[in-house]
């Protein structure tokens, strides 16, 4: 029965052309790209690999042990017993939190690249889509850094390695958005995204934030569209995750814009055009002036009502992270979809955040706050 219903839901999804015979659609979902029929042939190995990686995520017991550590060397000793292995073995004592973070990230990047290199289409472009998000962050980081006259090589060290692109360093040459586009971004996959905010204005803090959000909006919409076109489990899982991501961005933009020069019209332009909040919630968000109103708007949506109920002692950000972890974990419950690749990267990132948090608490002797991480499994 479950097989039937899941298939049926796919058949009846708004994507399938209405004039198609249902069985033709079933056949399509099975044979087409990312369909059940060819999934294991093309992506089965990598899926298995990622599921294996997922099994290496730290467990509750691991966290329970980690929070008992007194110095960072203890963490190293414990992490050596997990899947992290001897990743810190060549680091001289005393350890620093930044080293741990960097090494953790290295591992994530290694894993991602390993998967990316072996992926075939359409998984390869799906994975590329994941890296575009990091590219946007890198672009913004570099522009901001140049604005503050930082050294370019120092900035590049800070960039997320998943978002590297070739002509990255040249970003420092750009003085306005048009130059940015014409000199650098035109070669990158981000080129189509920036076309929405081309202007001859000089770059400043405000501009950069707008660029970031415009890029991100365009990126999310494109990614969402791509996943929807792919259909099947990918559309289902990624749809949920990306809708949440879009909503989170909208809410964050709204809250962060209070008390800035950003006009409401400009703000509305930055909201992604999909998501659970779209369109009514977005329209209401565009008109709000204070945080309480935001909360009120969100209360109308069951997903976010649950997310926000126990937010008394947690920041909104943590609540969102928690919800994100929940969604990403759900991705592993399904098969024949690319959601798990995205989810794994996000979960691993969360784990790195957790490790860094614990390490920071240990190195700064803030043991009381050490439990404020977000456990995954």
Partner 1 sequence: MGHLWRSEPMQLVQLFVQIEAAHDTVDELGNLGLIQFRDLNPDVNAFQRNFVNEVKRCDEMERKLRFFEAQVGQEPGVKRLLSSVSVDNGAASSSSSTQSLDELEGRFDELEKELAQMNANQTMLNRNNNELVELQHVLTKDAVFFQEAYGNVGEPRRGEDARAPLLASGASSGVGGDMFGAAAGGVKLGFVTGVIARDKIPAFERVLWRATRGNLFMRQATVEQKLRDPVSGVEVEKNVFIIFFQGDRLQQKIKKICESFQANVYPSPDTTRERGELLNQVTHRLQDLEVVLTRSRENRKQVLASVAVHLQAWRTRVMKEKAIYHTMNMFNYDIGRKCLIAEGWCPKTATEEIQYALRRATQRSGALVPSILSVIRAVHEQPPTYNRTSKYTKAFQEIVNAYGIAHYREVNPAVLSIVTFPFLFGVMFGDVGHGFFLLIFSLILIIKEKQLGSQKLNEIIAMPFGGRYVLFLMSLFAIYAGFIYNEFFSLPMDIFGTTWHQPNSTSGNIPDLTRTYPFGIDPAWKGAPNELDFYNSFKMKMSIVFGILQMSVGIFLSFFNAMAMKRPHSIINMWLNVVPQIMFLWSIFGYMCFLIFYKWYIDWPHLPVPVSPPFILPLIIGMFLQPSQPPEPVMFPGQHTLHYFLLAVAGISLMLMLPVKLAVLKMLHNKEHNQVGHEKHHDDHHDHAGGVVHHQQDDFDDECLDVSHGDIEFSEVAIHQVIHTIEFVLGAISNTASYLRLWALSLAHSELSTVFWDRLVAGPVAGGSVPMIFVFWSVWFAGTFAVLLVMESLSAFLHALRLHWVEFQNKFYIGDGTRFAPFEYKTILNPEEQ
The footprint of partner 1 (CB under 8 A) covers 65, 68-69, 73-75, 77-78, 80-81, 89-93, 152-153, 166-167, 169-173, 182-184, 186-187
Torsion from C-alpha of 267, 273, 277, 279, nearest 10 degrees: 90
Q: How far is the CB of 30 from partner 1 (least distance, A)?
A: 39
**4 vs 90, which CB is nearer to partner 1?**
90
**67 vs 109, which CB is nearer to partner 1?**
67
**184 vs 246, which CB is nearer to partner 1?**
184
C-alpha 132/C-alpha 223 separation (Å) is 9
Q: How far is the CB of 368 from partner 1 (least distance, A)?
A: 21
Q: How far is the CB of 134 from partner 1 (least distance, A)?
A: 19
**83 vs 221, which CB is nearer to partner 1?**
83
Q: How far is the CB of 370 from partner 1 (least distance, A)?
A: 15
Q: How far is the CB of 365 from partner 1 (least distance, A)?
A: 17
Q: How far is the CB of 304 from partner 1 (least distance, A)?
A: 39
**146 vs 328, which CB is nearer to partner 1?**
146
Q: How far is the CB of 90 from partner 1 (least distance, A)?
A: 6
Q: Residue 297 corresponds to which tokens in the numbers above? A: 């708007």
- Residue 124 C-alpha from the chain's centroid: 17
**75 vs 340, which CB is nearer to partner 1?**
75
**173 vs 283, which CB is nearer to partner 1?**
173
């Amino acid at each position: 029965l479950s097989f039937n219903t899941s298939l049926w839901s796919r058949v009846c999804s708004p994507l399938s052309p209405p004039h198609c015979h249902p069985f033709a659609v079933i056949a399509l979902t099975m044979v087409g790209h990312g369909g059940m029929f060819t999934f294991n042939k093309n992506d089965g190995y990598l899926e298995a690999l990622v599921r294996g990686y997922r099994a290496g995520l730290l467990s509750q017991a691991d966290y329970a042990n980690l929070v008992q550590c007194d110095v960072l060397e203890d963490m190293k000793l414990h992490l050596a017993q997990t899947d992290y292995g001897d990743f810190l073995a060549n680091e001289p004592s005393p350890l620093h939190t930044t080293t741990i973070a960097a090494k953790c990230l290295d591992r994530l990047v290694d894993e991602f690249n390993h998967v990316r290199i072996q992926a075939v289409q359409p998984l390869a472009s799906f994975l590329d889509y994941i890296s575009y998000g990091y590219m946007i962050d890198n672009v913004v980081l570099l522009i901001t850094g140049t604005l503050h006259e930082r050294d370019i090589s120092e900035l590049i060290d800070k960039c997320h390695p998943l978002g590297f692109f070739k002509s990255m360093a040249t970003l420092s040459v750009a003085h306005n958005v048009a130059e940015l586009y014409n000199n650098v971004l035109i070669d990158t996959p981000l080129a189509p995204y920036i076309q929405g905010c081309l202007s001859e204005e000089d770059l400043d803090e405000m501009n950069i934030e707008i660029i970031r959000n415009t890029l991100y909006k365009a990126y999310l919409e494109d990614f969402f569209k791509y996943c929807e076109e792919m259909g099947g489990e990918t559309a289902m899982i990624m749809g949920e995750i990306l809708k949440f991501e879009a909503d989170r961005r909208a809410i964050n933009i709204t809250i962060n814009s209070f008390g800035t020069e950003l006009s409401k019209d400009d703000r509305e332009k930055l909201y992604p055009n999909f998501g659970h909040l779209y369109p009514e919630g977005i329209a209401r968000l565009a008109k709000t002036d204070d945080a309480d109103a935001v909360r009120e708007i969100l209360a109308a949506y069951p997903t976010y009502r649950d997310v926000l109920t126990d937010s008394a002692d947690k920041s909104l950000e943590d609540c969102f992270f928690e919800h994100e972890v929940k969604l990403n974990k759900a991705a592993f419950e399904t098969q024949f979809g690319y959601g798990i690749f995205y989810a794994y990267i996000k979960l691993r990132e969360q784990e790195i955040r957790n490790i860094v948090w614990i390490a920071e608490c240990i190195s700064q002797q803030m043991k009381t706050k050490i439990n404020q991480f977000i456990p995954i499994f």
